[in-house]
Amino acid sequence: MLSDEASANCPLPDFGDDERISLAHGEGGRLSRRLLRGMLKPVQNEFLIGLPDGATLPVSSGKLVFSTDSYVITPRSFPGGDIGSLAVFGTANDLAVSGARPRWLSLGLIIEEGFSTHELGQMIASIARAVRVAGMQVVTGDTKVVPRGAADGLFINSAGIGELVLPLPGPDTLSQGDRLLVTGKIGQHGLAVLAARESLGFDPAPESDMTALWPAVEALHAAGIRVKAMRDATRGGVAGILHEWADACDKTMLLESGSIPVSKTVRGACELLGLDPLHVACEGTMVVAVPSEEVSDALRVLRTVEVSNEAVEIGSVSEKRMAPVAVRRSLGQLVPLDEPSGAPLPRIC
């Protein structure tokens, strides 16, 4: 979610009188320039002046982290965000959970012929707002227009560069007794998108948790917390990450079902759809692993930051058992938590 402050003072792009994107917009002539000018206005900064072929970036003395992702989501807009803000926060958070302060972003837009310039303008404005929240700058980009049917409206690729601030030992160093935390309620983003895509009509509609995670990482760094591993729980949800970590360290991840934070809306929707919130994606929530002696400090620090003020402990790393990830359910029995296989599907009954 974006704060009102971030959305204020954000110039809207101006595409002249063009209502729809045509192939000519991508062919390098006058229309291309007009489109580009319109798109650049809201994200303008010193690196884009004169539109050089490449951005020249000041290199710090430390290490850089580089990450890329492509965004093809349907629907393009959903409660709490859209493909534009997703393309920014998704990449910014990949940098943040790598321990890097997100700095610079590239954007590649693939636009389907006939796409509405009004919607494109909204997406660019959304990108501009998200970039401010994430503390990043768009420093280079590319736009292509493809014939109708060759893409679904708008695809975005973004690549980000960040400065490494908090080097992480990584999930392969997790050991027995380490604790697992989440920084907020889980499953919000996946449910918001699913409900919007399938017009499920939940009231209230679940809203994506999409936001920048960097402030939480920065707070952990500033307090000197010895974080062992961090991941934003995107596709595959918390379960997906824990399976990867279990694999990396050859241990078992144990969760307490009662301590997993889930909003009423997401819980109700998941019950209705036969989904497990642990399998549903987040976009502004991460899993953090810390040594046991750091738990209370880590939680205290995380709770001072808005994005992670609902941080809780959800489980721990145990010696290797038969199942890589297990949840203690109501009877006290440890039950294996399966690895998500593909997207959650609507059930029959």
Partner 1 sequence: MKYVDEYRDPQLCRRLVAEIRDTASRCHTIMEVCGGQTHGLLRHGIDRELQGVVELIHGPGCPVCVTPAEDIDFAISLCQRTGVTVVTFGDMLRVPGTSLSFREAQSLGGDVRLVYSPLDAVQLAVSEPDREFVFFAVGFETTTPATALAIQQAARLGLKNFSVLVAHVRVQPAMEAIMESDACRVEGVLAAGHVCAVSGFASYEQFTRRYHVPVVVTGFEPVDLLNGILRCLRQLEAGVAEVENGYERSVQIGGNSQALQIVDDTYEICDKPWRGLGTIPNGGLRLRECWRQFDASRRYSRASLPIVEPVRCRSGDVLTGQIKPTDCEYFGQECTEETPLGAPMVSSEGACAAYARHVRPYI
* Binding region for partner 1 (CB under 8 A): 198, 200, 264, 267-268, 271, 273-274, 321-324, 326, 329-336, 338, 341, 345-349
**What minimum distance in Å lies between the beta carbon of 177 and partner 1?**
22
Strands (E), 196-297: 229-232, 252-256, 286-290
At 94, list the tokens. Answer: 């990949």
Measured from the CB atom, the residue of 53 and 347 that comes closer to partner 1 is 347
Measured from the CB atom, the residue of 172 and 271 that comes closer to partner 1 is 271
* DSSP of 283-349: SS-EEEEE-GGGHHHHHHHHTTSGGGTT-EEEEEEES--SSSEEEE-TTS-EEEPPPP-SS------
Phi–psi pair at 281, nearest 5 degrees:
-70, 150
Measured from the CB atom, the residue of 297 and 339 that comes closer to partner 1 is 339
**What minimum distance in Å lies between the beta carbon of 335 and partner 1?**
5
Measured from the CB atom, the residue of 58 and 201 that comes closer to partner 1 is 201
Who contacts 218 (Cβ-Cβ below 8 Å, separation ≥6)?
101, 165
CA angle 170, 239, 303 (to 5 degrees): 70
Measured from the CB atom, the residue of 61 and 330 that comes closer to partner 1 is 330
- Pairwise CA distance, residues 36 & 292, whole Å: 52
Strands (E), the chain: 64-71, 77-78, 81-82, 100-112, 137-146, 154-164, 179-182, 229-232, 252-256, 286-290, 312-318, 325-328, 334-336
**What minimum distance in Å lies between the beta carbon of 324 and partner 1?**
7
**What minimum distance in Å lies between the beta carbon of 344 and partner 1?**
8
**What minimum distance in Å lies between the beta carbon of 325 and partner 1?**
9
Measured from the CB atom, the residue of 147 and 336 that comes closer to partner 1 is 336
**What minimum distance in Å lies between the beta carbon of 170 and partner 1?**
24
**What minimum distance in Å lies between the beta carbon of 253 and partner 1?**
12
Whether 292 and 298 have beta carbons less than 8 Å apart is answered as no
Measured from the CB atom, the residue of 5 and 198 that comes closer to partner 1 is 198
